[in-house]
Amino acid sequence: MGKIPPALRSAISSNTLLKTPTTTQPEKSPRHFLNKKPSRKSKESVSPETQKIPAVFKSPELSEAKKIFNSLITGKQNHIDRPFHNSLLQSYASISTVDNSISLLRHMIHKNPSFVPDRSTYHILISQSCKEPDSNLSSVRNILNLMVTNGLEPNQGTTDIAVRSLCSVNRVDDAVELVKELSSKNSPPDVYTYNFLVKCLCKCRALSTVYSFVDELRNSFDIKPNLVTYTILIDNVCNTKNLREAMRLVSALSDSGFRPDCFVYNTIMKGYCNLSKGSEVIGVYKKMKEEGVEPDLVTYNTLIFGLSKSGRVGEAKKFLKIMVEAGHFPDAVTYTSLMNGMCREGDAMGAMALLEEMEARGCSPNACTYNTLLHGLCKSRLLEKGIELFGVMEEDGMKLETASYATFVRALCRVGQVAEAYEVFDYAVESKSLSDVAAYTTLESTLKWLKKAKEQGHAV
Amino acid sequence: MLPQRVKKTIIDNPKKLANLIDLVNLPSTLREFVGQSQISRLGCFMRVWSYIKTNNLQDPNNKNVVKCDQKLRSILMGKPQVELAELPALIKLHFPKDSK
């Protein structure tokens, strides 16, 4: 989710336009719910513009573009296929205005009558018109009309491209308006577009707005939320710690004939984790087992994270065993969560032992693992070990996190290693772990605290 | 977790943040040192700290102590040597609160 589906990516990018399927059937990417964990993949995929499109056009000037086009096609009109034209149009669209792109398209058709634009050709223009700054929907409507006059009815792919383009430039309200408009003209969004839009709305609008959108589409166009939609909604309310609403949604989805799947349970479990409610976290796990839903890696990671967070490390360790027995491979997230729990209990050495165990099992620690350990070691007054660990982080160019940086600097100052604290400050700034301001204020306030402690006669 | 909490309040507090990053007109001594007429408190700290590093002014026997050269002495109240720990406070003296 949040990713541009492969089918769509090719639809907006350059040369496979002819093969573009007319409906978008994007594969659902695996959903990760442990948002704050290290393994979090960068969710924003490469936007279409950053993909390599040959820089044929260097100026947005229309006459220039026409000239370039003419020189490219001279003498080989019949050998140039539609994808080639589409690529050119795409390239030009990335630097020009919509009106100029339309003019260039007209010019192309005029100069090379063998070129017949298809949907993907117009999709380029749709995408461009949606992203044009300071515009309203009228330019999108223009292109849609242009499509219709050329005998191409907009389809679900068209809707999808328009919605995603609009949302990519934060025009969510326009996207909603367009979807309603297209739905009333017998071109309703498919479930992927619909869910995408619901997710965007969740991110930037009040819950009531999202609900009224869902209701309106259900009542007016018979577009119903599916299990994924419910998961998105539950995720959203869980993130705002509104577990009561989440429970209401769970019963609503059951009433609509859906059975909660692993994703739904994982989402709810994450909600309880955020509230550090260990018993409820285990409750969700038991419920899954009762309902015959097989927990996956994310379930176990969430479980271990939640238990560690609510100070129930013993149980978390047990679940590490259980998950291995169930055939899952614990990953960096699993181990880091557990280490975090152990460090909270003051068992930093135990966490270090777990680091060895994890590496022995072929699982590589990441920056978050090291930050957790550094933080834990400093808290447990094992500064020597911490300095050693920091050396490894430095070598690998790992970034420091705010908390571990602050704890480390403080621990160094406490034992009078101010110069070393300055070096850590330099590293934090150079590696861009923190902003200069954040790094400096931490250092400054730590030194202030040190001075006070000295004045009050505390040991340093 | 004291430092983290303090840091947060500073970043969340626009006045304190401004005190750190706003450009300030410098008195002549400082102006000579940094080579420009305006600098923020943060920028000034970075300048001084990197000056110490590039000129190897830290005491080789105790890295926490800075042996001031003539130029550094001129902006650090004429002290022949200062502790690294008091550097932020010394620099802050050049940035009085009422200047903004």
Structure tokens at A409: 């600097």
Three-state SS sequence of A269-313: HHHHHHCCCHHHHHHHHHHHHHHCCCCCHHHHHHHHHHHHHCCCH
Helix (H) or strand (E) holding A108, with range, is: helix A98-111
Structure tokens at A256: 């609509």
Nearest Cα to Cα of residue A161 among A8, A2, A353: A8
Structure tokens at A174: 């326009």
Q: What is the pLDDT of residue A2?
A: 41
Distance from CA of B57 to the nearest CA of A (A): 12
Distance CA A90, CA A121 (A): 8
| Average pLDDT over chain A, rounded to an integer | 84
In A16-65, the DSSP E strands lie at none
Helix (H) or strand (E) holding A177, with range, is: helix A172-184
CB-based contact (8 Å) between B61 and chain A?
A: no
pLDDT greater than 70 at residue B90: yes
- Residue A242: what are its φ and ψ, rounded to 5°? -95, 75
Distance CA A228, CA A131 (A): 27
- Give the mean pLDDT of A6-17: 37
pLDDT in tens, B3-33: 445 545 566 677 778 888 888 888 888 888 8
Distance CA A241, CA A248 (A): 14
Helix (H) or strand (E) holding A236, with range, is: helix A227-239
Chain B positions in Cβ-Cβ contact with residue A455 (cut-off 8 Å): none
Chain B positions in Cβ-Cβ contact with residue A419 (cut-off 8 Å): 58, 63-64, 84
Distance CA B15, CA B2 (A): 20
The sign of the CA dihedral A363, A367, A373, A377 is positive
Confidence band of A35 (pLDDT split at 50, 70, 90): very low
CB contact (8 A) between residue A418 and residue B2: no
- Direct distance between the N- and C-terminal alpha carbons of chain B, in angstroms, rounded to an integer: 31
pLDDT in tens, A79-122: 678 888 888 898 888 888 888 899 999 888 888 888 888 889 99
CB-based contact (8 Å) between B42 and chain A?
A: yes
Q: How many CB pairs under 8 A join A and B?
A: 72
Q: What is the pLDDT of residue A404?
A: 93
pLDDT greater than 50 at residue A66: yes
Chain B positions in Cβ-Cβ contact with residue A403 (cut-off 8 Å): 1, 4
Residue in A407, A417, A447 nearest the CB of B88: A447
Structure tokens at A122: 């117009």
Cβ–Cβ under 8 Å, residues A176 and A213: yes
Cβ–Cβ under 8 Å, residues A365 and A395: no
Q: What is the pLDDT of residue B73?
A: 87
CB contact (8 A) between residue A410 and residue B86: no
CB contact (8 A) between residue A441 and residue B49: no
Confidence band of A54 (pLDDT split at 50, 70, 90): low
| Number of neighbours of residue B70 by Cβ within 10 angstroms | 6
In A162-289, the DSSP E strands lie at none
Distance CA A374, CA A352 (A): 10
Can you tell me which residue has the tokens 């500073």?
A: B10
Cβ–Cβ under 8 Å, residues A365 and A349: no
Distance CA A257, CA A107 (A): 54
Distance CA B87, CA A418 (A): 11
Nearest Cα to Cα of residue A417 among A442, A445, A388, A387: A387
Q: What is the pLDDT of residue A425?
A: 95
Tell me A275's DSSP state: T
Confidence band of A39 (pLDDT split at 50, 70, 90): very low
Three-state SS sequence of A322-336: HHHHCCCCCCHHHHH
Chain A positions in Cβ-Cβ contact with residue B17 (cut-off 8 Å): 437
Residue type, B26: L
- Range of A230-234, A307-311, B15-19 with top mean pLDDT: A230-234
pLDDT in tens, B36-84: 888 899 999 999 999 999 998 898 888 889 998 888 888 888 888 888 9
Residue type, A124: I
CB contact (8 A) between residue B7 and residue A436: no
Residue in A410, A422, A451 nearest the CB of B3: A410
Q: Looking at this predicted complex, what is its ipTM? A: 0.86
Q: What is the pTM of this model?
A: 0.74
| Number of neighbours of residue A170 by Cβ within 10 angstroms | 11
How much helix, strand and coil, in percent to the nearest 5, is found in chain A? Answer: 70, 0, 30
Chain length of chain A: 460
| Average pLDDT over chain B, rounded to an integer | 81
Can you tell me which residue has the tokens 């967070």?
A: A309
Residue in A403, A440, A451 nearest the CB of B85: A451
Distance CA A206, CA A218 (A): 19
Distance CA A361, CA A356 (A): 9
Among B7, B11, B44, B61, the residue to mutate for chain A (most A Cβ within 10 A): B7
pLDDT greater than 70 at residue A77: no
Distance CA A7, CA A24 (A): 6
Strand partners, B38: B25
Chain A positions in Cβ-Cβ contact with residue B21 (cut-off 8 Å): 437
3-state secondary structure of B65: strand
Nearest Cα to Cα of residue B41 among B20, B57, B58, B61: B20
